[in-house]
Amino acid sequence: MSRKVAIIGVGFAKFGERWDKGLRDLALEAGTAAIADAKIGGEDVDAGYVGNMAGGSLVGQEHLGSLLADQLGLLPKPITRVEAACASGGLALRQGYMAVASGIHDIVVVGGVEKMTDLSTAQVAEILGGAGDQEWELFMGATFPALYAMLARAYMEKFGATEESLAHVAVKNHKHAVNVPYAQYRKEISVEQVLNSKEVASPLKILDCSPITDGAAAVVLAPLDVASSYTDKPVEIIASAQATDTISLHDRESLVELKAAKVASQNAYKQADITPKDVDVAEVHDCFTIAEILAIEDLGFFKKGEGYKAAQEGLTAIGGEIPINTSGGLKAAGHPVGATGVKQAAEITLQLRGEATGRQVKDAEIGLTHNIGGSGGTAAIHIMKRV
Amino acid sequence: MSRKVAIIGVGFAKFGERWDKGLRDLALEAGTAAIADAKIGGEDVDAGYVGNMAGGSLVGQEHLGSLLADQLGLLPKPITRVEAACASGGLALRQGYMAVASGIHDIVVVGGVEKMTDLSTAQVAEILGGAGDQEWELFMGATFPALYAMLARAYMEKFGATEESLAHVAVKNHKHAVNVPYAQYRKEISVEQVLNSKEVASPLKILDCSPITDGAAAVVLAPLDVASSYTDKPVEIIASAQATDTISLHDRESLVELKAAKVASQNAYKQADITPKDVDVAEVHDCFTIAEILAIEDLGFFKKGEGYKAAQEGLTAIGGEIPINTSGGLKAAGHPVGATGVKQAAEITLQLRGEATGRQVKDAEIGLTHNIGGSGGTAAIHIMKRV
């Protein structure tokens, strides 16, 4: 019999170009903030999980479990690094959830961290290419903007979406980020600015792409039945699901959906015993503007082929039908890859607590996170509920 | 209430310089062998974990969960990569154990893989340095042979062990490997050969060091109560423990023990309700000869300061008091870092099934695996029992 699990604390290390901080500093910043928010001490922590995609390639540092147990004063507790490219954070959260749900551990810290700005953009693009099929995609020159550009072209061709449809996603997410303290870009942009920005991989322009970001985020998990002794506002994780798909695009049946996200979300809705209509707010994986459009369709918020109209019509803005990416998403809050899935959970927690100052979704009771690895090879979906 | 967990299948990809095979080929070789050994099909697998240290740096490939789900025909099942340097395999096994014990998944494949020989020795040494403290050790030039050389010097100084004491560990493990089909070096060496081999970091010579190896290993886990429907010889995992220590040597209280291994093994003995004397056979992490000496003391097989005599006196050979590393250990079987912890579990399974041809420990009932990350920053200990 599995136990119910709650989030009792959240913390962030500001996202951005943190040239004065190393990987360990960022993890420490977020981890200590989450532990303080949960009103516990390090001695209360039983175990931890950390999502990180490419510490080895980006800064020469693997073995983050030991490093962070050491830095955070958690020795000799077991801390485990989990990696699934840009879904590393989501899978770390899922491992933490499983550890508490199973009764193996009680208080578990889940963190995500990535230090990305020490290298050139070209170097980072090559390293991120390791999230796809190194032998059949990256080796042939297909970096991630190119892979998502293919998804965008397929979608536009099939459903009549335009470059302007994509641009509206970026505009909406930048608008949301203005009030997000931890966001990398807290400024609005216009559709014209997106359309006139430098082309990266047609039809994607630089303002369709999430940036290269240093950052970290952390949450503290506890069994729900004791959560109220730590916080007045526990947030329950009512579903945790994970699915895989082919790592390379050329093996997919369809290029206008991410099947892993569909499979995982259907599993998650079943676990939570809800339908997509019950979700009040969601953080989705908008590594590129097209990715948010696929996400809101794969999650069942909009019909396949109609999601591209949502941002333009204001349906996914705060105050709209289903507010998407109140954090600013990967696009404007930034995308420290290993941290993103954990940041999503931390943002939803703030929303469900009613503490998302300046971007609060009114009466938010149920929130969802959608975290994707690579071009859709891994999907991690979590659903949270205000208790 | 947690379920009992059994190993119902094992598989190996031969360890060595596999220049004709890539990372995915090695994983496929071991994974399909383990699935076949368990007499199941891919459709029976509910989830998987894979240990890999540095696919990103070594071959440009991260996101192994998706890649291997795809390669092994397991889509859309959740497969998760776990990393803890050279203890990646041990932690993958622990996550798989937790997934089955908790009732979250039933049939779980646990693999470990590393493809290391595509780069130069110097490049690999730098990448492996990421298992230690990149900023305070590797950056200063302390690669792993240097770190373990410091441990060896401290031990020799304190307890009177000699370079010859160390050499006996290598000689014993090479002798064991002669009958191990998957081992990299199936030939005996002499104490003189070790002592006269090229110095790497004094007092460690090349024949004190585990080699650079391509390889993979896999095991299939199932709930014990259904294990007998798959195999006549299920092996129960009666303990799974993990602990951390400081990632860097300079922060340790002692240089003549690995504290994480002591903490984790004491926890494991408690879970299994046994003492070190009850263990019939063990695979320990002999990345360098000194590491095996520390291991057999940390595990309680020998008193602190006396373990260095064991190999010379034949106590840790097959037929001795407590046979250590019947596989040849990391030294002679080879050390594909992410695979090592899983290979240890697979070797112990063969021993407890009575199938360790040419190296069988008579009447082996209880076996132990000891897998270390870095210079001791992570330790994973598992204890298995013949059912």
Sign of the C-alpha dihedral computed for residues A81, A82, A84 and A88 taken in this order: negative
Is residue A86 flagged as an active site residue? yes
Site from A53, A62, A72, A105 to mutate, B interface, most B CB atoms within 10 angstroms:
A62
| A:15-34 residues touching chain B, CB 8 A cutoff | 22, 24
- Phi, psi dihedral angles at A322 (to 5 degrees): -140, 95
**What Cα–Cα distance (Å) separates residue B106 from each residue in A92, B49, B95, B101?**
20, 13, 13, 9
Cβ-in-10-Å burial (0-12, 13-18, 19+) of A153 comes to middle
Q: How far apart are the C-alpha atoms of A245 and A377, rounded to whole Å?
A: 4
**What Cα–Cα distance (Å) separates residue B268 from each residue in B26, B31, B274, B286, B382?**
31, 27, 9, 20, 7
Mean pLDDT of the region A308-327: 98
Q: Cis bond leading into A203, ω under 30°?
A: yes
Q: How far apart are the C-alpha atoms of B104 and A217, rounded to whole Å?
A: 26
Contact B377 A81 (CB under 8 A): no
- % pLDDT > 90, chain A: 99
Site from B1, B2, B50, B66 to mutate, A interface, most A CB atoms within 10 angstroms:
B66
Q: Is the pLDDT of residue A154 over 90?
A: yes
Which of A56, A82, A103 lies at the smallest CB-CB distance from B56?
A: A56
- Give, for B236, the enclosing helix (H) or strand (E): strand B235-244
Taking contacts as CB-CB distances below 8 angstroms, the residues of chain B near A260 are 76
Q: Would you state the pLDDT for residue A2?
A: 80
Q: Does A329 touch chain B (CB under 8 A)?
A: no
At A277, is the secondary structure helix, strand, or coil? helix
**Angle at B342 (CA atoms; ends B337, B345), nearest 5 degrees:** 135
Length of chain B measured in residues: 387
- Greatest alpha-carbon span in chain A: 56
> Buried (b) or exposed (e) across A165-176, using 16+ Cβ within 10 A?
bbbbbbbbbbbb
HSE, side-chain direction, 13 A CA sphere, residue B323 = 25
Site from A247, A258, A259, A265 to mutate, B interface, most B CB atoms within 10 angstroms:
A247
Q: How far apart are the C-alpha atoms of A376 and B85, rounded to whole Å?
A: 26
Q: Tally C-beta pairs within 8 A across A and B.
A: 210
Spatial CA neighbour of A380 closest among A54, A93, A11: A93
Tens of pLDDT, residues B227-253: 999 999 999 999 999 999 999 999 999
Residue B294's identity, in one-letter code, is: L
Compute and round to an integer the Cα radius of gyration of chain A.
19
Contact A70 B244 (CB under 8 A): yes
Q: How far apart are the C-alpha atoms of A183 and A358, rounded to whole Å?
A: 13
Beta strand A378-386 pairing with B204-205: unpaired
Q: Does B352 touch chain A (CB under 8 A)?
A: no
Which residue ranges make up each domain of chain A? 5-119+213-235, 131-208+238-380
Whether residue B380 contacts residue B98, with contact meaning beta carbons closer than 8 Å, is answered with: no
| A:37-96 residues touching chain B, CB 8 A cutoff | 53-57, 59-67, 69-70, 74-85, 91, 94-95
Q: Which residue of chain B has the CA closest to A99?
A: B98
Task: Cite the beta strand spans of B92-176 per DSSP E.
Answer: 108-114
Is residue A209 flagged as an active site residue? no
CA of A368 vs chain B CAs: smallest distance (Å): 19
Contact B75 A103 (CB under 8 A): no
Q: How far apart are the C-alpha atoms of B216 and B24, rounded to whole Å?
A: 10
Tens of pLDDT, residues A14-71: 999 999 999 999 999 999 999 999 999 999 999 999 999 999 999 999 999 999 999 9
Tens of pLDDT, residues A335-361: 999 999 999 999 999 999 999 999 999
Residue A4's identity, in one-letter code, is: K
Contact B62 A131 (CB under 8 A): yes
Q: Is the pLDDT of residue A251 over 90?
A: yes
| A:221-280 residues touching chain B, CB 8 A cutoff | 242-248, 251, 259-260, 263-264
Sign of the C-alpha dihedral computed for residues B281, B286, B289 and B295 taken in this order: negative
Spatial CA neighbour of B96 closest among B45, B141, B142: B45
Kindly report the average pLDDT of chain A as a whole number.
97
What CATH homologous superfamily does A131-208+238-380 map to?
Answer: Thiolase/Chalcone synthase (3.40.47.10)
**Long-range contacts of B190-193, Cβ-Cβ distance < 8 Å, separation of 24 or more:** B191/B164, B191/B167
Token pair recorded at residue A291: 């990715």
- Residue listed under structure tokens 């096994």: B93
Q: Would you state the pLDDT for residue A1?
A: 47
Taking contacts as CB-CB distances below 8 angstroms, the residues of chain B near A74 are 244
Q: Would you state the pLDDT for residue B2?
A: 79
Taking contacts as CB-CB distances below 8 angstroms, the residues of chain A near B67 are 133, 247, 377
Contact B76 A259 (CB under 8 A): yes
Which residues on adjacent β-strands are paired with residue B372? B379
Mean pLDDT of the region B269-298: 98
Q: For residue B315, how far is the Cα from the chain centroid?
A: 21
- Phi, psi dihedral angles at A380 (to 5 degrees): -125, 125
- ipTM score of the complex? 0.96
Contact B95 A91 (CB under 8 A): no
Site from B64, B83, B337 to mutate, A interface, most A CB atoms within 10 angstroms:
B83
- Phi, psi dihedral angles at A293 (to 5 degrees): -65, -45
Structural domain B5-119+213-235, CATH architecture: 3-Layer(aba) Sandwich (3.40)
- % pLDDT > 70, chain B: 100
Taking contacts as CB-CB distances below 8 angstroms, the residues of chain B near A245 are 66, 70, 75-76
Q: Is the pLDDT of residue B21 over 80?
A: yes
CATH topology of domain B121-211+237-386: Peroxisomal Thiolase; Chain A, domain 1 (3.40.47)
- Residue listed under structure tokens 């940036």: A211
Whether residue A51 contacts residue A339, with contact meaning beta carbons closer than 8 Å, is answered with: yes
Spatial CA neighbour of A55 closest among A137, A134, A130, A133: A130
Contact A60 B243 (CB under 8 A): no
